[in-house]
Amino acid sequence: MARSSATTRLLYLAIAAGIILFDRWTKWLVAQRIALFDSVTVVPGFFKITHLRNKGAAFSLFANAPDAWRTATLVIFSLVALVVVLVLLVKSSHRLSLQGVALSLILGGAVGNLWDRMVHGWVTDFLLVYYRQWEWPAFNVADSAICVGAVLLIGEMLFKREAEPSAERVSPR
């Protein structure tokens, strides 16, 4: 059963909107229930929910840069990335595809973190994976959606099979 372009676009926007809403809700819950810098252990020795503020980009990149420069740069970069993702999503919306789902995840995650950055000047991070002294940088639902979307895009590029054989592969008979 073929889907229309409009239906596919709506599905992609629904995925992005779902990520944005889930991201906003989880960040709100953490801010309401866990004091800043406090943690709740979920899996001892492996996983905590902790309330942190990340003024930088992914993995606190640029966190120590001057506030005005950092915020403006990250907002501009995010807006440019959003435009690129939206253009790619519109181009791929003629049919349901893994690429479209991946771009929707990236779009939702980017909007979720951009929202925090524009409203607060920081992004709320709260998922913390650790083992002994080793800690992965804290992250959130938006970060997770962006990473899953990026992995899906990379996987599709690496493992995508061509729909039609190329001219070089076709042997004349």
**Which residues does the annotation mark as catalytic?**
125, 143
75 class by beta-carbon count within 10 Å (0-12 exposed, 13-18 middle, 19+ buried): middle
87 vs 42: CA distance, rounded Å: 39
Non-local (6+) Cβ contacts of 72 within 8 A are none
Name the residue type at position 114: L
Phi, psi angles (nearest 5°) of residue 11: -65, -45
Helix (H, G, I), strand (E, B) or coil at 91: helix
Longest distance between any two alpha carbons in the chain, whole Å: 73
